[in-house]
Amino acid sequence: MRITSVKQQQHRSSPSSSSSSTVKRPSSFQQFLKNTPNNNNNNYLLLANNNYSLLHSPFGSSLGRRSFHSTSKFLRSTAGAAEHTKEAEVIGDKDNATTSTTTAPPEPLIKEKSTGPSSKHEFQAETRKLLDIVARSLYTDKEVFVRELVSNASDALEKLRHALLTGKSISDKEAPLEITLTTDSATKTLVIADNGIGMSKEELMKNLGSIGHSGSLEFVKNMTDKSAADIIGQFGVGFYSSFMVAKNVVVYSKSAIAGSKGYCWTSDGYGTYSISEAEGVGRGTKIVINLNSESTEFAQKEAVERIIRKYSNFVGFPIKVNGNQINTIKPLWTLNKNDITEKDHKEFYQFISHAYDEPQYHLHFSTDSPINIRSIFYIGQQHQEKYGMGRMDPGVNLFAKKVLIQAKAQGLLPEYLRFVKGVVDSEDLPLNLSREHLQDSALIKRIGNVLTKRILKWMDDEAQKDPQKYQKFFDEYGNFFREGVCTDVSFKEDLAKLLRMESSHTKDGEVTSLEGYIERMDKDQKEIYYICVPTRSLAESSPYYEAFKAKGKEVLFLYTTMDEFVMTNLGKYNDKKLVTVESAEAANALKSKEEKEKEEKEKLPEQQVQSLSSWIKDVLGSKVSSVKSTDRLIDTPAVIIDHETATYRRMMKYLDPSRTPTLPKQQLEINPNHPIIKKLNEIYTTNEELSKLVTEQIFDDALIAAGMMDDSRALLPRINKLILSAMGHATTNNNNTTTTSASAETKA
């Protein structure tokens, strides 16, 4: 095998090859590239090409000439090193010697070049200060310049499409309509190009030379039909956002009208611009942004792709970055809902929500009132707040003509609907000049109300359609609706319709709604009864539930800490008052007149009840504000009514852990028909010590039943005394029984 250098092979194959490896001084840049051996370093070639364009650009500066000559010198000095490396390559054996295949030089980043004289102009009717404000102070985030320039490119393509439809004479009709972005980190350059309608010299001066003049808005005003519905621009300042990141901007443009010339527009953003004719310009517009030192990240492909996906992913034309199409996800909200597959929904949901699950619900909603709205909403399988990951941001993004205006838009939907993901798009949004914020807050509120009402109705429809699926959804997202009832007065009744809870009339694990409760209640019943407890077993054993159970009255069982606040804030539903079974109101409304008369005959005489109540109040002292009898109880000796809820007490303790909440005076109700109360009435005048122990235990039992006992360990000493007393009483009875038996036997 023979080692053969590329140089030797080329020398043999070309009779005209020079024996010297010295590169001749080129008479032109193209000759220089042709005579320079390929060193497989594309960056050097790109750098050289760019400097060549700069040399022939309207700037015509000595900087451009110095860059060209220094680059030429550098490439010549590296040519020999490249060939030396090639000489070590093994090409083939003696019988089959071949030459290595050299890679063709990459296509130059900038093929266009300025020709002829350059004319300098001032920005019409504007000052340098105004340009500085627009370019450097109007936008809050530098990256939006990509959004603005891509939007301009989209408008140019829309105008071209309209021209084609109207039969105008257009050059290069077969060229695909697309937007291309090219990054070059070596030269710190970003190029954004389209093959749209392009601009003539006069249009360049009008559209780019006058700040605030919008060619797109002028185009829309001249249209009498809806063919311009997808035109994005309206303010005429988006192009100047490029000066936030640019040292200078070069624009090559050629009108799409057949026979038009190409032009080069350049400016550094400081009040003047220059225009000259240019050659090599294709139909459309190419913007070359030479990035300043603070903005070099925009010469990175990954950064540009991220911005495209964030702001402009749904623009109606292909967007390519360094040859790869970025916007492959379709804007589903603009399509007919019947043409969208479940696979489309899954792909779109995962894109906008950055999720990996599948949506369990989706809503495609459009309306023309109060303004044109196109929207699509999704609800995923689960949310993140339950994992303690903090409060979620709003999940709906606001678009205007398929271009992102606000990600995670605040104020569009209520806070409690932050779990809803989706897109809202409108052609009529009142945007400010930077197209980053909305101007008419009252209109946005009306839009929000329309969307909120529709989403809540959508959820109710889904609940009726598939109750089991909705129950699973509510188990995951129910707290958001509870939050809404407590915070949104306008929609609390609509939200209440979506609540689900167990009931005394449902099986364990089955749920019902407030609507279902009303359908089952007696015609003369005016209240909806509920009880808030941690579990179903505690609800069914609660003394407050006893009378309702005996009467067969349905009671809603609420298990979450939020439910007490929900019911208090809701107050009424469908003109039915929500009443807790722990209240005195519930007890009074429960019994009929006949039942009250019957119990009146069986209970202790009223005078004895009053005397016992007064004695109990004296024993309990500052613990109670009142003691009176009640007819509501069956198997329980006493209850506390109209008390602070356990949830409220826990919340206050959570807010200030260092301060133990003081138990206020309670309202105690005793059951004069209960055996314990009757026995207490018999002994409180003869055995005061035992009666006090029993009274205190009855009160503490009532506190426990009400969920107000903070530490039940304090009860243990008293319980032990009561046990001991009961055992002593049993021993005495047993001794008495034994003595009686022995006496009887003696007599016998």
User: Both tokens of residue 229?
Assistant: 């519905």
Q: Which of 83-87, 119-123, 219-223, 439-443 has the highest mean pLDDT?
A: 119-123
Q: Which residue has the higher pLDDT, 583 or 4?
A: 583
Residue 496's pLDDT is what?
Answer: 96
Q: Rounded mean pLDDT of the chain?
A: 78
What is the rounded average pLDDT of the residues 25-34? 42
pLDDT tens for each residue of 209-253: 766 554 444 544 455 454 444 444 343 567 888 888 999 999 999
The highest-confidence range among 596-600, 626-630, 713-717, by mean pLDDT, is 626-630
Would you state the pLDDT for residue 730?
58
pLDDT of res. 130: 59
Mean pLDDT of 183-187: 95
Predicted pLDDT at 70: 41
Q: Is the dihedral of CA 45, 51, 52, 58 positive or negative?
A: positive
Round to whole Å and give the CA distance between 80 and 87: 11
Residue bearing the bigger pLDDT, 108 or 9: 108
**Segment holding 72, helix H or strand E:** helix 62-86
d(CA 323, CA 327): 12
- Over residues 48-70, mean pLDDT: 38
Give the C-alpha separation, 566 to 500, whole Å: 12
Residue 92, pLDDT score: 35
**Phi and psi, residue 508, nearest 5°:** -60, 125
Give the number of other CB atoms < 10 A from CB of residue 329: 15
Q: Does residue 15 surpass a pLDDT of 50? A: no
pLDDT at 301 over 70: yes
What's the pLDDT score for residue 317? 93
pLDDT at 331: 93
Residue 440 CB contacts under 8 Å (≥ 6 apart), including other chains: 430
Q: Is the pLDDT of residue 614 over 70?
A: yes
Q: Which of 62-71, 170-179, 719-728 has the highest mean pLDDT?
A: 170-179
C-alpha span between 616 and 348 (Å, rounded)? 69
pLDDT in tens, 478-489: 999 999 999 999
Per cent of the chain over pLDDT 70 is 71
According to the model, what pLDDT value does residue 88 have? 33
How much is the average pLDDT of 194-211? 87
pLDDT at 603: 63
pLDDT at 183 over 80: yes
Asked if 56 and 120 touch (Cβ cutoff 8 Å), the reply is: no
User: What pLDDT shows up at residue 114?
Assistant: 86
Cα(700)–Cα(719) distance, integer angstroms: 11
**Residue 712, CA distances (Å) to 86, 463, 617, 649, 716 in order:** 90, 43, 22, 16, 8
Cα–Cα distance for residue pair 663/732, rounded to 1 Å: 40
Predicted pLDDT of residue 41? 40
Q: Which residues contact 687 (CB under 8 A, 6 or more apart)?
A: none
pLDDT band at 327 (very low <50, low <70, confident <90, very high): very high
In terms of pLDDT, which residue wins out, 98 or 382?
Answer: 382
pTM of the model: 0.69
pLDDT given at position 175: 87
pLDDT of residue 423 exceeding 80, the answer is yes
Confidence of residue 661 (pLDDT cuts 50, 70, 90): low
pLDDT per position as a tens digit, 70-81 = 444 333 334 443
State the pLDDT at residue 207.
83
Query: How confident is the model over 409-426, as a mean pLDDT?
Result: 93
Name, in order, each residue with C-beta under 8 angstroms of 346's C-beta and a sequence gap of 6 or more: 358, 359
Residue 13 has pLDDT above 70, yes or no: no
Asked if 393 and 353 count as a contact pair (C-beta separation under 8 A), the reply is: no
- Residue 285's identity, in one-letter code, is T
- Residue 25 CA from chain centroid, whole number: 61
pLDDT in the model for residue 636: 86
Query: Which domains does the chain carry?
Result: 6-96 (no CATH), 113-325 (3.30.565.10), 332-464 (3.30.230.80), 501-590 (3.40.50.11260), 593-729 (1.20.120.790)
C-alpha–C-alpha distance, residues 654 and 254, integer Å: 69
Asked if 216 contacts 156 with a C-beta cutoff of 8 angstroms, the reply is: no
Contacts of 217 (CB under 8 A, 6+ apart): 233, 234, 235, 236
* Residue 666, beta-bridge partner list: 624
pLDDT at 54 over 50: no
- Evaluate if residue 342 carries a pLDDT over 90: yes
Tokens of 539: 């609800």
Task: Specify the pLDDT at position 89.
Answer: 34
Contacts of residue 424, defined as CB under 8 A and 6 or more positions apart, other chains included, come to: 373, 374, 375, 396, 397, 398, 399, 409, 412, 447, 451
Q: What is the pLDDT of residues 246-266, one digit of tens each?
A: 999 999 999 999 889 999 999
Segment 556-604, tens digit of pLDDT: 999 988 898 899 999 999 999 999 988 878 877 776 555 555 555 556 7
Cβ–Cβ < 8 Å for 521, 530: no
Residue type, 366: S
Across 69-78, 186-195, 346-355, 636-645, least confident range: 69-78
The answer to whether 179 and 157 have CB atoms below 8 angstroms apart is: yes
Cα–Cα distance for residue pair 474/500, rounded to 1 Å: 7
φ/ψ region of 509 (left if φ > 0, alpha if ψ in -120 to 50, else beta) reads left
pLDDT above 90 covers what percent of the chain?
A: 39
pLDDT in tens, 497-537: 999 999 999 999 999 999 999 999 988 899 999 999 889 99
Strand 624-629 and strand 576-580: pairing? unpaired
